[in-house]
Structure 1
């Protein structure tokens, strides 16, 4: 094979076989390079998805604490001992399933008062866990301060040397804002958002002595859905709850005007709004036993033009983000693989002619 009638190697056959060899080698190199490119693309896609998830991740509450300068205590004082006892026992009452704990311990002038409030969609076990973590962290953040407050996504803890139960306080204010700006007409958006928040404020303020909480979503301009929740400590009167939220809403134009979302905490009330789901259904309240003070709270459903966000618990937003990221990652990987296969099939059909031409040019030189 490849010999002419004189027994010599036919140059055309040789060139053809050599070209096939080069072509196979070229294909091998091509696939090797494509594998490297695909690996880089997959890695870069993973990095992009990581940062994309980080951008829409939950607010950071690591530094969300307030240490008051209204008084100090020493490490071996009676106040310190009373504080330790109160924080240790604050969430020990497992009959409380409505997310509000308040207690006091000791005698004046070393008496300590504490309030623990969980978000209305947080389950009892998660509520107690959140508050327990804050009872550990807050004295570390604010060592020797008689009054302090720690906010978390799902709960808030306060303690003080003075009676804080039933007293509305709208300062200090803790604020975090979404980094993304709202698209469209700002005036229209502000009016839409305020209407949503005012409706939730009325609903929460009308709640009972166990819970003053409301959540809803509503579709507004550009067919975008806005999710929001508001909450007061249930020891407040209806008027005090409304006033506290009204004051908190006033912070929006100072810090977060035109932003897609924000979370604002005060000692007595808080609210949050976003353009993605971040809450679950309102947690159930069991019928209180006869030794539990306070009537069963009336939790009004969202208004007819809004609907509660679906979900199993308070971590719904994180689940949505993670699942969305995984799906996006899979789609990107599949597209990359399809592109690699397409290029692998397509390239050999285009290359032989150019390789053959290059070979003949070399031979002629």
Structure 2
């Protein structure tokens, strides 16, 4: 969490321009590196398991580090809001307990690790190339394929961020009574499809994605859903998707393709849906941010997609038009949860 300036600091740095506000970005970069190192060293989990706050020496022994190094790192994490002190001992803040512990339903640790180990290293190599040429020299997914373990880290990160929206997303998805089969296009982690199967016992789901993505998720399909969830590998733009689906999910897919590619994909999905079948599209939508944080988030997402995929974000109106062009009717949009910028768009074949 970036340092939160007090009123006087905000006035001097951000309003009156009397001090170097860019130093806050420097602090933020150091904060990210420190938090991801703390995750790697198991500092937060160690403090969580302890019966009482721990001093630097005891904590260093338990995480196999030098006490002086642990003290300096933890003092910075205190300043950034991740740790608190009781005397000379360290404990977790409520923020860290909520968002960075493995047993929490809102654990974002794998998402931060995904950025640390994969996305930012890819940025370091491709950022300037993408800005100068309009696209990276290869997509990040092609880069994942070069080392299969990258897919495992990526899917863990995708699951972590998807889990925050799971209930909100599922509540917006229409699964008509009697629907038997669902297709999750680019489904990867499968979290949404599996939850829909839990809520609709008569529903089965097929997760369709690249081989590396599917290999990384197969062992994470719960045993109780083994009869309801299967997988299919390939390129959803060209390979056989199957037939006879009542619902198709395209979650965080359309941003990776140009308009013509998305229309073609929607047409392919329409071909495998039963009459009256539904397509459900989820993504971040251009122009939907209403607050400084949400607007910055959308700009950050757009920059990320450019750097990693040579892609961009679209308006929901564009996607609605493409769905109609691909033959879908009754196209409707519904917001997802409290996070501005996210919505599902549904259409009926």
TM-score of the alignment, normalized to the shorter chain, above 0.5: no
Larger RCO (alpha carbons 8 Å, 6+ apart): 1
Normalising by the smaller structure, the TM-score range is under 0.3
Bigger Rg over Cα = 1
Q: TM-score w.r.t. structure 1 length?
A: 0.24
